[in-house]
């Protein structure tokens, strides 16, 4: 969830390189060479598949939108044609059988558990018959509230004044679109770096200072229900843990950490009657999970732990509790999507 750190110059360079690669027609060569010299397990990270037509009027976090429905359908059709799209259960079976991995293995993942994961992503995945793994924060599932980070963005976007304090730092901006974008970046980054109890208090304080009131939550911003998740789990989709309350795990006490990691797994297994074999660490950057987080995850019975660090994973040396993922964003064109798979190092 480090979307706000993406630089416009970097985006433009990638777009130009993607266009050049497409124009030269060397994508097929790049992928063959990569598979020849590098055997990797590719994991793609998505958050939301949502059709919004006007960013100006969208009052929640547009940076959580990975693609619209048309773009996602194109992407998964491309993946089905060129890759072996599998689940973590299938990956474990292949590793256990000592069957060599081919470099074609690819896993699609979704973080958080927004309702569009069911209504859009699952519907499209099911239509082309490929699996994906959905990481859910169990404390939100079926609840009449949106995720805390999405609500923070909403509170700033609708604020009439931008005067507030976070972690002993005071900000006072004129209420403009540009300043609201800056405030969102500052606030989310700071909330990720402070202890969990301070984060919860800081959010409450922020809402008071912004005079943020109770509001009608659009259905599109709600999480999935257990009914949604059970249908998905029964139809080729894997359900993984994204903790209970979507905290930054490294900012928790040892007791809180164990509760978030263990309780979420137990809840998923109780509700779905399926094994929950993987966890995606919320936020997932280098400061968001520690060796202790990884150890507790392993002890709790997870087979894999996923970061949000960009990259691929060496098939013959998987770091099972710190797996990297490639991020699909709403501004990723078809050409960039292919380039990300061909040359993930530049992403």
Q: Which two tokens stand for residue 183?
A: 């405030």
Phi and psi angles of residue 84, each rounded to the nearest 5 degrees, phi first: -100, 95
134 within 8 A of 233, measured Cβ to Cβ: no
Q: Which two tokens stand for residue 235?
A: 């139809």
Characterize the bridge pairing of strands 169-173 and 162-166: antiparallel
pTM recorded for the entire structure: 0.92
Per-residue pLDDT of the chain (347 residues), as tens digits, is 444 444 555 666 666 665 666 655 666 666 666 776 678 999 999 999 999 866 778 999 999 999 999 999 999 999 999 999 999 999 999 999 987 888 899 999 999 999 999 999 999 999 999 999 999 999 999 999 999 999 999 999 999 999 999 888 888 988 888 999 999 999 999 999 999 999 999 999 999 999 999 899 999 999 999 999 999 999 999 999 999 999 999 999 999 999 999 999 999 999 999 999 999 999 999 999 999 999 999 999 999 999 999 999 998 889 999 999 999 999 899 999 998 998 877 76
Per DSSP, the residues of 243-290 read: -SS---GGGS-HHHHHHHHHHHHHHHHHHHSS---EEE-SS-STTT--
d(CA 131, CA 110): 11
CA atoms within 13 A on the CB side of 199: 21
Characterize the bridge pairing of strands 133-136 and 238-241: parallel
């Amino acid at each position: 969830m480090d979307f706000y750190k993406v630089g416009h110059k970097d985006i433009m360079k990638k777009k130009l390189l993607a266009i050049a690669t497409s124009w030269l027609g060397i994508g097929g060569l790049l992928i063959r060479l990569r598979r020849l010299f590098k055997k990797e397990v590719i994991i793609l990270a998505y958050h939301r598949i949502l059709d919004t037509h006007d960013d100006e009027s969208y009052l929640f976090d547009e940076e959580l939108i990975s693609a619209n429905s048309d773009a996602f359908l194109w992407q998964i059709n491309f993946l089905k044609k060129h890759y072996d799209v599998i689940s973590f259960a299938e990956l474990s079976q292949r590793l256990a059988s000592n069957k060599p991995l081919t470099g074609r293995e690819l896993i699609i993942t979704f973080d958080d558990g927004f309702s569009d994961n069911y209504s859009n992503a699952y519907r499209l995945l099911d239509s082309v018959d490929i699996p994906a793994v959905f990481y859910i924060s169990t404390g939100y599932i079926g609840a009449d509230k949106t995720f805390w980070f999405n609500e923070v963005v909403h509170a700033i976007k609708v604020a009439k004044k931008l005067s507030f304090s976070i972690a002993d730092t005071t900000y006072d901006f004129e209420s403009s679109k540009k300043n609201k974008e800056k405030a969102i970046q500052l606030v989310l980054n700071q909330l990720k770096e402070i202890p969990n109890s301070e984060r919860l208090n800081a959010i409450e304080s922020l809402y008071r200072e912004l005079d943020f009131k109770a509001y009608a939550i659009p259905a599109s911003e709600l999480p999935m229900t257990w009914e949604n998740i059970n249908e998905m789990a029964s139809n080729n989709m894997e359900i993984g843990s994204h903790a209970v309350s979507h905290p930054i795990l490294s900012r928790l006490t040892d007791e809180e950490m164990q509760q978030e990691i263990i309780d979420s797994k137990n809840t998923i297994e109780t509700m779905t009657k399926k094994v929950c074999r993987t966890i995606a660490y919320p936020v997932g950057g280098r400061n968001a999970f520690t060796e202790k987080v990884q150890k507790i995850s392993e002890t709790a019975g997870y087979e894999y732990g996923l970061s949000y660090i960009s990259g691929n994973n060496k098939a013959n040396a998987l770091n099972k509790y710190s797996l990297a993922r490639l991020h699909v964003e709403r501004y990723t064109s078809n050409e960039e999507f292919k380039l990300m798979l061909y040359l993930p190092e530049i992403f």
